[in-house]
Structure 1
Amino acid sequence: MTTAQTAPEHVRDETPVLPLGWSIGRPEAADGSRIWRIARESGVLDVNSPYSYLLWCRDFADTSAVARDARGRAAGFVTGYLRPEAPETLLVWQVAVDAPHRGLGIAGVLLDHLSARVAAAHTLRAVETTISPGNLASERLFSAYARRHGTSVRQAVLFPPAAFPTPGHEAEVLHRIAPLSF
């Protein structure tokens, strides 16, 4: 997982807020194509097929969120799922914010909103994500999230480069944020 967000030099430990007129909610299938475009235009995310984003918005809407600008247009998203073998763990798959809105704390708002919404419906004890080495934006985003929630981040390589079918893929480092209490 990588985050398509310009990381500000300061880290947002305070609770981030949305711009005036914006909202966050569950994605709908109609958001799938816009979310795919945001992922593709990020230049850093592993882009899945457009069809997969449509399915994700339909089948994993309860564990994903979309930020909508004042016109109601998707301007950022976070996709995730509850791990089948660890149903108290939310795995965050992708986080991205449209280029004109990066650096405003929207990704942090998305993570806070999604984890609170998931915790209201399920027991949530941990958030996990994978981050490629050197992805400072993702590291800052998830470290700030952990601090806001009064916990820490543990890291371990989940998938080494050799696990991928094509050469050149960096390791995916698991970042586990726990324990969480809501």
Structure 2
Amino acid sequence: MSFAPVRLRRPTDGDGLPLNQLVARCQPLDRNSVYCNLLQCSDFADTGIAAEDAQGHLVGFISGYRPPQRPDTLFIWQVAVAPEARGQGLALRMLLALVARVAGDGVRYLETSISPDNQASQALFLRAFERLGIEHGTRTLFSRERHFAGEHEDEVLYRAGPLADPLPAATSKEPV
């Protein structure tokens, strides 16, 4: 099986609208406003990564940020992979490349929240934690009843780290 070539790079403000359109195609991801996506691609570009195909179309994106109270932590907000780019390990490649980039800037821990029914995201992050050689723990971050009035599943926080110094070689193959 051959995989379509994909280039990983830092997001730019030109990715805002394509990101919004990509997320719309990646159900059940929560769609944000185009303005929010523009901010993710500009103000938060250092903690995001874009994947484009040979024609320059956005086929993958990870958005994240560093919580002000925990600047040594990268919180992954959303992982989107276009349906036509799935099954190629793109999400893991993007995540490991992003971690390699931010680790050089003082990030030692990874966090994300995943709903209990999202087995694909759970598998992705567990593979990444294994590849990075880091332990993780979980706890309910936002409760279905308390925070979502019963209209959304719990959001479970996954926190992993500390990252090794240096990172395993598998995370630093592509400059992004």
TM-score w.r.t. length of structure 2: 0.88
* Cα deviation, residue 148, structure 1: 0.3
1:82 aligns with 2:66: yes
Q: Which residue identity lines up with residue 110 of structure 1 in the other structure?
A: M
Structure number with greater CO (CA < 8 Å, separation at least 6) is: 1
Deviation digits for residues 80-131 of structure 1, max 9, x if unmatched?
A: 01111011100000001001111210000110111111112x1121110000
Deviation digits for residues 124-149 of structure 1, max 9, x if unmatched?
A: 21110000012100000000000000
Aligned to 1:142: 125
Deviation digits for residues 43-96 of structure 1, max 9, x if unmatched?
A: 111111111101110110000000111112211000001111011100000001
Aligned equivalent of 2:95, options 92, 111, 121: 111
CA distance in 2, matches of 1:51, 1:142: 28
1:160 aligns with 2:147: no
| RMSD between superposed Cα atoms in Å | 1.5
Q: Which residue identity lines up with residue 79 of structure 2 in the other structure?
A: V
Q: Secondary structure at the match of 2:133?
A: coil
Q: Which range moves more in the overlay, 36-45 or 85-94?
A: 36-45
1:52 aligns with 2:42: no
* Cα deviation, residue 168, structure 1: 1.4
Unaligned runs of 5+ in 1: 1-17
Going from structure 1 to structure 2, the CA distance change for 1:84 and 1:70 (only over 3 Å counts) comes to same
Q: Which residue identity lines up with residue 25 of structure 1 in the other structure?
A: R
CA distance in 2, matches of 1:26, 1:163: 36
* Cα deviation, residue 20, structure 1: 5.3
- Map 1:1-182 to 2 at 5 A: 19=3, 21-120=5-104, 122-181=105-164, 182=167
Q: Which range moves more in the overlay, 166-175 or 82-91?
A: 166-175
Contact 1:22 1:72 in 2 (8 A): no
Deviation digits for residues 13-48 of structure 1, max 9, x if unmatched?
A: xxxxx9454211111111111111111111111111
Q: Which residue identity lines up with residue 127 of structure 1 in the other structure?
A: L
TM-score w.r.t. length of structure 1: 0.85
**Count of residue pairs brought into register by the alignment:** 164
Q: Secondary structure at the match of 2:31?
A: coil
Aligned to 1:7: none
Q: Which residue identity lines up with residue 177 of structure 1 in the other structure?
A: A
Unaligned runs of 5+ in 2: 168-176
